[in-house]
Amino acid sequence: MTFDQLGLTTGLLRAVADQGYTVPTPIQQQAIPAILQGQDILASAQTGTGKTAGFTLPLLQRLAETKTSGKRVPRALVLTPTRELAAQVGESVITYGKHMPFKAAMVYGGVSFGGQARQLRQGIDILIATPGRLLDHVSQGTIDLSAVEILVLDECDRMLDMGFIHDIRKIMGRLPDERQTLMFSATFSKPIQQLAHTLLKSPVQIEVAARNTTADRVEQVVHPVDRHRKRELLSHIIGFHNWQQVLVFTRTKHGANRLAEQLAKDGLKTAAIHGNKTQAARARALKDFKQGRVRVLVATDVASRGIDIDQLPYVVNFELPNVPEDYVHRIGRTGRAGNEGRAVSLISDDEMPLLIGIERMLKQSLTQDVVAGYEPSFSSDTSNVRSVGAPGKPRRQRPRRRSGGSISAPRRAGAGARG
């Protein structure tokens, strides 16, 4: 399946090709034709599935195909729960719509209202907004929603969790009844189904497997190690196992650059991608990595969003992320599409609290494996930490072992030890 088989026009196909995408993701394969036909959709798809392009591409095409009233007021409205997501969607609209004549704007809280109002006055076609700030504009009369043809509710379950339901309903009251509505949600919970029932007309239901869950296929292992020996251990692991395609996560752009330089000195072909690199440099690094010219790709969480490789076998957390959910996103990059994956985390003393947070979220203890020759100078046992779910109840001892001369395949930790 290719993008042109989905019925997209040349401008969009060019934009997709510029991004280096060749194969549409499952959500794109299902959503794009349905949206192009003008149908409402209810899709369960999480971040990482390619859902943004899944609605942005056909949305742009629909706008190009239909006539305008002449006034330059928003014809498409995308609602998101957070500014970050609004900014991300906005970026996608600009990226995919670069060969099209549309103007997009984002409105969300925390930035100047006046600046947004001015931009809206100048005329826009696509509006990406968080509900609260959008309602401020509605009540100030700085936005006219009467010409909206397509409404997208992105991460709908999160919007409900954040208490936006009343705001959403108020916004609905400002939109024409005659419109196409696309709902995206990670789950199809009862409240989501109820909302879908009131907002959607005979929707096409699309469900794609979540990519960002810690699939059973992903073997997760933690190597406790002193911080200053992490790089050395990483080179050792890659070399010992002869790993040929490894994605390594660092927390900062600077850290990514430094690690890439050090690994290169160790003789490993390495590239780094992060927010300070140009889009062209990132695309090049990714292409080299996919095609095997680069063996190790060091990335920050934000930059890694563009990485879509279906058979990525190894993910390394050189540093743990600050947010436990990011751990799940990171390791969701491996073990996809029926393939085995391995996620390795190098943990120094100061990262123990982060590890505890991750294990709590996963409701699972991760197997710890001290690599011979890299014994840490600290104790990495977190089993005296009490569980959130069962206050006062001590956790069972985590499985812990020492490997001999090699780093053997880790045994799986007893799942639910703290469940």
State the residues that interact with ligand AMP by CB under 6 A: 21, 23-25, 28, 47-53, 305-306, 308
CA triplet 224, 230, 231: central angle to 5 degrees? 155
What's the closest the beta carbon of residue 269 comes to ligand AMP, in angstroms? 22
Phi, psi angles (nearest 5°) of residue 269? -70, 115
Straight-line distance from the first to the last Cα atom of the chain, in angstroms, rounded to the nearest whole number: 42
Q: Where are the alpha helices (DSSP H) in 20-126?
A: 26-36, 51-65, 83-96, 113-122
Q: Is 110 exposed, middle or buried (0-12, 13-18, 19+ CB in 10 A)?
A: exposed
Q: Which is nearer to ligand AMP, 57 or 362 (CB)?
A: 57
Q: Which is nearer to ligand AMP, 18 or 266 (CB)?
A: 18
What's the closest the beta carbon of residue 226 comes to ligand AMP, in angstroms? 34
Rounded-to-integer distance, Cα 318 and Cα 330, Å? 11
Tokens of 199: 């907002």
What's the closest the beta carbon of residue 73 comes to ligand AMP, in angstroms? 26
CA triplet 265, 269, 273: central angle to 5 degrees? 100
Q: Which is nearer to ligand AMP, 13 or 172 (CB)?
A: 13
What's the closest the beta carbon of residue 218 comes to ligand AMP, in angstroms? 18
Q: Which is nearer to ligand AMP, 78 or 263 (CB)?
A: 78
What's the closest the beta carbon of residue 189 comes to ligand AMP, in angstroms? 20
What's the closest the beta carbon of residue 300 comes to ligand AMP, in angstroms? 13
Rounded-to-integer distance, Cα 147 and Cα 159, Å? 23
Phi, psi angles (nearest 5°) of residue 133? -65, -35
Q: Which is nearer to ligand AMP, 69 or 280 (CB)?
A: 280
Cβ-contact 126, 102 below 8 angstroms:
yes
What's the closest the beta carbon of residue 335 comes to ligand AMP, in angstroms? 17
46: helix, strand or coil:
coil
Number of residues that make up the chain: 419
Q: Which is nearer to ligand AMP, 12 or 366 (CB)?
A: 12
Q: Which is nearer to ligand AMP, 95 or 142 (CB)?
A: 95
